[in-house]
Amino acid sequence: MMEETINIPERELVEVGKLRVDKDNPNAMSKEEYSALKEVIKKFGFIVPVITNKEFLIADGEHRLKAGKELGMKQVPVIKLEVEDIDRRILRQVLNKLKGRHDNDLDAIEFKKILEDTDMQDLVELTAISEQNIINIMDKDLGTTDSDAEEVSKLGKLVIECPFCHKKFKKGEGEKWLKKK
């Protein structure tokens, strides 16, 4: 069987003023998600290039470009593809939609590992997931134990809201809340 050659396009640094948007982008971000995107760029760098067609019209990365501009970037990494407009639009749909699905059980395990080495506020700022949703995923998919209760009480400024009575518990009170369940 003959191996097919796969193109690996080069990235280049492009002045932000050369890049164009078409105002048809169907991908929207909440304020929280956009804020998290900016935090990720500040923490890890501009690691995912903007994808454009040959005229520098964006197929993927409009939000990254906007965030980069707001953060003072004069150039961003770009992969310029020699594609027509229809393929640019198809590519935009593909890149916005083919990302897979999250497994809540695996997310819960990942959140627990992350929270062993960082505080909840970092996780919230970088993912745009609320503290309550992170706790709900961990609670639902991992179940709770006495050791989980201890860990929740170590998480700092964490506030937990009971999903049933909506009472809020502060640091140290989470242990009692989890043991009642």
pLDDT tens, position by position, 77-113? 999 999 999 999 999 999 988 888 888 899 999 999 9
Q: State residue 11's pLDDT score.
A: 96
How far apart (Å, rounded) are the C-alpha atoms in residues 127 and 44? 13
Q: What pTM did the predictor assign?
A: 0.72
* Sign of the alpha-carbon torsion through 29, 103, 145, 156: negative
12-97 under CATH 3.40.50.150, yes or no: no
Nearest CA to 128 among 39, 67, 26? 39
Mean pLDDT for the chain overall = 84
CA 120 to chain centre: 15
In a 3-state reduction of DSSP, which class is residue 20?
A: strand
C-alpha neighbours within 13 Å on the C-beta side of residue 160: 25
Q: State residue 181's pLDDT score.
A: 44
CATH 3.90.1530.10 domain locations along the chain? 12-97
The values of phi and psi at residue 32, to 5°, are -65, -45
